[in-house]
Structures are given as structure tokens and as C-alpha cells.
Amino acid sequence: MKVAPPQPPDLRNDNWALFLDIDGTLLEHAAHPDDVVVGAELRDLLVALNDCLGGALAFVTGRSVAAVDHLFAPLRLRAAGLYGLEHRLEPEGPVTAADEPADIAALARELEAEFAGQNVYIERKGPILAVHTRAAPHLLARSIELVEQALDSLPDGYRALPGNAGVELMPLEAAKGAAIRRFMAMSPFRGRRPVFLGDDTSDENGFEAINEAGGLSVRVRPDGATIAQYSVANVADAFAWLSRFEHVNRS
């Protein structure tokens, strides 16, 4: 029987830096990534958290920064997109973007043809290619097989990362842990203890960076092995814990 890590404690001081995954952590997954909706309550909580932490809050997500901005508009926060291949170090600063290589574009077209009409969504995110099978779970194994086979025909430096409802192909340097370390080396994060909430296998690298830094790692809805120190059962519990976090640090 799998035993989930314990629930995270309420944090009683303001010397924290907060890093947040989005899909499956702040928002419930949808069959299509564009189907998710950010409510006013979540947006207000993020504003309050950012204020009480002196700006030491950042999204660390597989989405592009442009997609994050569209989702949370008009709110703009620090963000690492595409697992750190894109980043905006200041809320109103420039975004370092990543282009789509020709070989990844060609693979995307092949997969679109393979899964045409089967409720599989091929998401093209610059150098990252995501195959979403949430609406067709019976095709998860096939999507992983095809992406792993594609590694043989691509240049060195790519990896396949299977998840709970799909698989992503990405450069080796795409890693949430590296994105977290980049933020922690700069103000206003420097000198604080980091906290990271995530929900999938792609977040384990981020948990590793957090644990190494003596921070607090929290996995949402843990499924299988995790190196996160703590867990919460679902998105609603993550929201409740963050609400307490904001209240304690504001008081």
C-alpha cells in the first residue's frame, strides 16, 4: 500500500520564497490545456501572497510564459516557463523566449497525423513537444512509445518525460530545479527558504532542488513514489494551505 508523505505544516514566519506549478497544483487539469479557467479567488490569493512575500513568488511551469500571462491576466508575476527554458525575472521585465527547432516541428506534424481524430492534443511549445492523452487515456502507452522512439532520430540532448496523462519531449536543460536555483540566486528570493508545490513527475526535479536548499517540497495528489517531503490530497487542499500561508505571513 502506498503511503503519501504527511501534510505540510503551517509556516509561521515570512522568510519564505514560494514557487508554484500551475496545472494540477493551482488548477484542476482539463482535457485541453486551454479549457482551464482562473477564478477571481485564486487570482486574489496570488496577489496577496506576492505582496506578503515581498515579490518572492514565481510560477515554475511547463506552460510558456505567454500562456501563463494569458491565463492569469491582468496579473503578471515572475515566471519560469517551459520548465525554465523561458523566464521572466521581473514582473514587468522581458521574457527570454525559446523557438521551435525544425526537427521538433516535423515530429509534431507526424504525431498530429498519427493521432488525428482520437482526442489526443499535440501541444507545440517551442523546443518542447507535449502529447496530452487526458481525453484518451487508452492512448497514453502508445504516445510514450512513439515519443521515446523519436529520440533515436533527434540530435543528442533530448529526453522523454512521461506524466500522469501524457508525455513530453524536451531538451535536457529544461528542468524546474535549475529554474528554481536561478531565482534563488537573485533578489528578492536570495536568503529565503524555498517552498515548491507541484503535482507530477516533471516536478520531482524541482523538489530535489528544494530539498537540497533546506526548503519545503509539497506534492499535490501524489501518485507513486515522490521525493517531496509533504503532500496535499488535491487542488482544493493546496488552495486551502496557501490561504493559511498567506494569512499567517500577513498577520
Active site residue ranges: 21
End-to-end CA distance of the chain: 40
Integer Cα distance of 209 and 149 in angstroms? 30
CA distance 209 to 62: 17
Tell me the C-alpha distance between 37 and 138, whole Å. Answer: 26
What CA–CA distance (Å, rounded) separates 133 from 82? Answer: 19
Place of cell 501534510: 7
Task: Spell out the alpha helix ranges (H) of 139-229.
Answer: 140-150, 176-184, 204-212
**In this structure, what DSSP letter does residue 96 have?**
B
- Residue 79 has φ and ψ, to the nearest 5°, of -155, 140
3-state secondary structure of 177: helix
Rounded distance between C-alpha atoms, residue 196 and residue 211, angstroms: 10
